[in-house]
Each structure stands twice: as structure tokens, then as C-alpha cells.
Amino acid sequence: MTISGHLADFSLPELFQLLEQGNKTGQLSIQEQSHQSSHKGKTFHIWFKQGHIVAAADRLDGQGLLSMIQQRGWITARVASRITEVCAVNINQPAGLCLKAQGLLEAEQLKLLFSQQVLHQVCKLFELKEGQFEFDNKAPFPSAEMTGLTASPKEVTLAGLRALRDWTMLQNKLPESASGLVSAVTGKPQLRLNQLEWQVWEFANGNAPIQAIAKQLQLPIGKIQQVAFRLMVVGLAEEIPWVTETPAQTSYLDIGMLAAEKKSDPAESIVSQSFLQNLVGFLKGKA
């Protein structure tokens, strides 16, 4: 089944969350949206297997990984050509593992390649201001692009959003400053959080709204909203409405303090009916 839409409706972090939680397998294609009607933006492809990212490339000719290896000078074009034939015999074996088995690459080299291929390239996609996506769960697996390593979409999402400077595209996705946060996990998070993420997560107990957390940490409210969004899209926290109390009854960090039920512009939350129908069908489909 194929599902498609616009990043303005369903952001990349939300897509990653959906695919990971649904243990989906298939190919996610992201196309930049060009303002010139006659010009199509670049398309980038990310392959998932049971909810994990296994490969990524900006091409579909199966030469992306080998091109990276040759650029690093680890093998020559002549050797690459021969190895391609050898590895093609077992179409289900990732090319990276095949090269390692042939003694041409070491484990550390595969890690470097995977970091460049997935973490570096995919994180740049979070900077897209406009684009379209399509997920096809029947797309063939690109063994020639696979190193044999995998990445959690949550880790990639955190890395991508940490490096994001322009949040314009995600502004209407951020939690309200008057909303509270509660933990969505039991115990401590297993993800590798940075210091600020840990600090905000420790406030995710429903005892303070985001604007109060910002005041306590002496940081701009917008910064804390961004961190809260990161925690939300990787499944560590949830946004909750806050109950208003009078100033005489409470202070900023009191449990019963400030409140405001989350309000949003209806126009910002409109998603096409066809997209929602496709999404519901997609969620019901088998991975």
C-alpha cells in the first residue's frame, strides 16, 4: 500500500514516529517542492525494515554506497565493478556485509559509511521547508545500498531536530506554552538525551506548564517548546492541557498554577480527508 502527502500536513518527525511505531517496512521518498512548476525538486529515499532505517540514498541506481566507498579511496572502480557482480549473486545480502566478508572493508569503515549515508544525509532533510512524501511498502529492498547496519528513527529524529535552526516549518506543531508535559514512558528514557532534554524531561510530571519550565531554566519559551516537541515525537513525553488558577492561589511552579487549554488555529490543523483515509488504511495494513 502506498501513502502520500505533504510535509506541511505531516512532518518528517511525525512520519518517522508513525513508521517506527507501526514496525513498517518499505521505501519512504521525500521530494523537495520547487517554486518553479517546470522544475521538480530533488528526491531522497529512505528504506525501513520493521520500523528501523536500513539505508538511504538520493538515487535509485544502486550505486550510492559504492560511490561513497570509492570517494574515500577504499576500493577502486575496477574492484567495485567486480565486487558488484560477486555480491549480486546473493541479492538478500547487504552490500556492506558482502564487502566485509571479502576482506575489503572493516566494521569501523561500515559504521563511518552508515553515518554518512543515513545520519548525515537524512538529518539534512529536517531542514526542508516544503516537500512531498510517499511511502511504498511494496518497494524492493536496495541490497546494494545497505551496509548491514540499522538506525532507530528516534535517534535520527533527535539528531536532525537538534541541528535544526529554522523551525518555521514546525512552528504550528509545537506544544502550547501554557500546556503541561507528562512522561510517556515508565522509568528513565533509554534514548541518549542531551543535558537540556534531560532537564525538560524531568519536568514532565504534570506539575508545571512549559512557560514555567522555561522560567525555571532561564531559557526562552520557544527553546523549551522545541525541546518538548523533540521529546514528544520520540515518544518520551505527552502534552496535556493546564487548569487555570488565580494568581492568589498559586505561583509559576506550583502544581496547581497556571493554565490554559490548548488552542490552535483551525486552519493550521486541517488535513485533507483523502489523506486521513489513506493514513487510517495504512495504519491498519500489515508491516
129 domain residue, yes or no: yes
Q: Are residues 97 and 211 in the same domain?
A: no
Q: Are residues 47 and 157 in the same domain?
A: yes
266 domain residue, yes or no: no
CB 31 within 8 Å of CB 43: yes
Q: Are residues 127 and 202 in the same domain?
A: no
Helices (H), ranges, the chain? 12-21, 64-71, 77-88, 95-101, 107-114, 121-125, 153-163, 195-202, 210-217, 221-233, 273-284
**Cα dihedral: 100, 90, 120, 39 (round 10):** 150
105: nearest Cα among 142, 141, 65, 78: 65
Question: How many residues comprise the chain?
Answer: 287
Q: Are residues 76 and 47 in the same domain?
A: yes
Domain count, the chain: 2
Q: Are residues 57 and 151 in the same domain?
A: yes
Q: Where residue 196 sits, what CATH number does that domain have?
A: 3.90.930
Residue-level pLDDT at 277: 58
Q: Are residues 57 and 186 in the same domain?
A: no
170 domain residue, yes or no: no
136 domain residue, yes or no: yes
Backbone angles phi, psi at 44, to 5 degrees: -120, 145
Residue-level pLDDT at 1: 65
Q: Are residues 8 and 146 in the same domain?
A: yes
Strand pairing class (237-240; 180-183)? antiparallel
20 domain residue, yes or no: yes
Backbone angles phi, psi at 207, to 5 degrees: -100, 0
Q: What burial class does residue 73 get, using C-beta atoms within 10 Å of its C-beta: 0-12 exposed, 13-18 middle, 19+ buried?
A: exposed
**Spatial distance between the Cα atoms of 170 and 114, rounded to a whole number of angstroms:** 27
pLDDT in tens, the chain (287 residues): 678 999 988 999 999 999 999 999 999 999 987 655 444 678 999 999 999 999 999 999 988 998 899 899 998 878 877 777 777 766 678 989 988 988 889 999 999 999 999 888 999 899 888 899 999 999 988 888 999 999 999 999 999 999 999 999 899 999 999 999 999 999 999 999 999 999 999 999 988 999 999 999 999 999 999 999 999 999 999 999 876 554 443 444 443 343 333 334 444 444 555 555 555 555 555 44
169 domain residue, yes or no: no
Biggest CA–CA distance in the chain, Å, is 78
Q: Are residues 53 and 160 in the same domain?
A: yes
CB 283 within 8 Å of CB 22: yes
208: nearest Cα among 230, 240, 231: 240
Report pTM. 0.81
46 domain residue, yes or no: yes
Q: Are residues 192 and 278 in the same domain?
A: no
CB 258 within 8 Å of CB 211: yes
Q: Are residues 204 and 280 in the same domain?
A: no
Distances (CA, A) of 66 to 76, 94, 117, 145: 10, 12, 11, 8
Enter the C-alpha cell of residue 25.
Answer: 517496512
| Residue 222 lies in domain | 176-261
**Spatial distance between the Cα atoms of 113 and 213, rounded to a whole number of angstroms:** 39
Q: Are residues 280 and 214 in the same domain?
A: no
Q: Are residues 146 and 12 in the same domain?
A: yes
Tell me, rounded to whole angstroms, the distance of Cα 149 from its chain centroid.
17
Q: What burial class does residue 274 get, using C-beta atoms within 10 Å of its C-beta: 0-12 exposed, 13-18 middle, 19+ buried?
A: exposed
CB 132 within 8 Å of CB 40: no
237 domain residue, yes or no: yes
